Amino acid sequence: MEDAYHAFLTQTELPQEAGTEGGILSGIRVAVKDNISTKGIETTCASKILKQYIPPYDATAVAKLKAAGAVIAGKTNMDEFGMGSTTENSAFGPALNPKDITRATGGSSGGSAAAVAGGLVPMALGSDTGGSIRCPAAWCGIVGLKPSYGRVSRFGLIAYANSFEQIGPMAANVSDCAKLFSVIAGGDRKDSTSVDKPYDFAGLKPEIKGKVIGVPKEYFAEGVDPEVGETVKAAISRLESLGAVIKDVSIPSMKYALAAYYVTCTCEASSNLDRFDGVRYGEIAPEMNLPWHDAYTKVRTAGFGPEVRRRIILGTFALSAGYYGKYYVKARYARQKIAKEFAEVLTGCDMLAGPTMPNTAPKLGELMKTPLEMYQADILTVPANIAGIPAISVPCGTVRGLPAGLQLMGRMYDEETILNAALAFEEANR
C-alpha cells in the first residue's frame, strides 16, 4: 500500500494478523496508533528509544479488533509518546495532511487521521490525552471520538498521562466510528480504571430533536479564528433547525484548564517515562558499558526528542520538593473545579457544542516555533479530558478550503447521545 502521507510507521499484512471471520469488522483493515501494543509488530511510540521494541502481547483494544474480524493494517505515525499537537514531534518525520500536504495533520494521532482521510484505511485507533483524537480529526476532515474515561480499556496503551488518556475510534463517517467504538468499549479485568459499560452499535440513530445543547461562551472567546467560529455557529444553527434546543451557558473555570492540564500531565509523564532506560525496551544501547548514571543520561538524551525531554523536566520540577504544593496540588484542585463545573452545566443540557480546534490546520512548522503556541492549540479539547467526559469531532464545513470540526461533548458514559447527534448532523449535511 502506497503511503504518500507518511501515515504509517509500520505496515503489515502478516498472516497472523488476519481477523476472525464473521465478526462485525470481518475483513476490514484497521490502522493502530503506534503507542498501542500489538503482538509481534514493532511499537515505537514514534520514539528512537523504543526502536525495534516488539510487544509480546496485544492491547485489549487490539485483541477486541481481532476478535471482531478486523485485519491490523499497521502502526500509525504520531507525536513522540503522544506529546504534541501536529505529529511533527515524531522521531521518524511528520505525517502529512491529505487535504493539503503542506499542512499539519494535527496530533498526536495524526498518522491515524491521515490514514483515514487519505483513503488508506476506513478506520483507525487513536488515543486522546488532551485532544489527540479530536484535533487531527478536525484538521483532516474526519470523525474522531474521545470516549469517557474508563469506557475503553487502557491495557496495552503505553502510558503518557494515565489519568487523562483514552483509546478511541477514528473513521471517515459517524457510523463507522460508532461501529469501531462498539467493538472496543467495555470493562477489562486487566485495567482497574475501566468500567463495564459496552456500547451497542444497533442503537445508533440520527436523533437530535428535543435535545438541549449548551453552547459555552468560552468556546468562542479570544483566540478562536473568527471564520472557524462562524462556521461552527452555523453548524449549531443547523442542529437547531433539526429540532435541538440551543442554550447559552458558561464554564468560568475553563481559563485554568490549559495550565492545570499541562502541569498534571507533565508530572505523570515524568513518572511514566522513567522506565525507558535503554536496557529493558528497544535496542540495547552501546553506552551500557558506562557507569549507570552516565549511561542513563546519555541513552535518554539521545533516545528522547526535545519535546519529550522538555515535558519530563517540567514534570520533574513540578513534583520536586518545594514546588509540589505550588504547582501539582494547585493543578489538581483546578482540575476538580473544572470537572465539577462541566458536570453542573451538563445537568441542564444533554450535550455541549463548540469548535473542536480554534483554527484550521497550520502550515508545517508553524506551531513548532515555540512550545507555548503548540500548547495553546489544545485550549478547546483539553477540558473534556479534565472532566473525563466523552467528546466527538465531526466535520462541519471548510474555512479557506480547509476542514473545520464541530465538537460535541456529553455527560459521563453517554457516548450514545453525542454519536446520535453527530449522525443526525452528518446526514443533514450530505
User: Among residues 109, 132, 182, 253, which one is catalytic?
Assistant: 132
User: DSSP code of 148?
Assistant: P
Q: Alpha-carbon Rg of the chain, whole angstroms?
A: 20
Burial of residue 245, with CB atoms counted within 10 A of its CB: 0-12 exposed, 13-18 middle, 19 or more buried: middle
Say if residue 370 is exposed, middle or buried (CB neighbours under 10 Å; 0-12, 13-18, 19+).
exposed
Catalytic position from the list 85, 108, 194, 253: 108
Q: Which residue, among 241, 251, 279, 234, has the nearest Cα to 348 in the 3D structure?
A: 251
CA nearest 406: which of 249, 215, 259, 148?
A: 215
C-alpha cell recorded at residue 95: 505525517
- CB-hemisphere CA count at 13 Å for 308? 29
Pick the catalytic residue from 33, 39, 75, 211: 33
Q: Annotated catalytic, 85?
A: no
Query: Nearest CA to 50 among 295, 278, 271, 287?
Result: 278
22 SS3 class: coil
108 catalytic per annotation: yes
Three-state SS at 408: strand
161-82-342-253 Cα dihedral, nearest 10 degrees: 90
Please answer whether residues 273 and 313 qualify as being in contact, where contact means their C-beta atoms are separated by less than 8 angstroms: no
Q: List, in sequence order, every residue forming a beta bridge with 264; answer none if it has no partner.
A: none
Phi and psi at residue 68, in whole multiples of 5°? Answer: -90, 0
CA atoms within 13 A on the CB side of 7: 31
- Report DSSP letters for 262-317, one per residue: HHHHHHHHHHHGGG-SSSSSSSPPGGGGS-HHHHHHHHHHHHS-HHHHHHHHHHHH
Check if 270 is active-site. Answer: no
Task: Kindly report the number of other CB atoms within 10 A of residue 372's CB atom.
Answer: 10
Catalytic (active-site) positions? 33, 108, 132
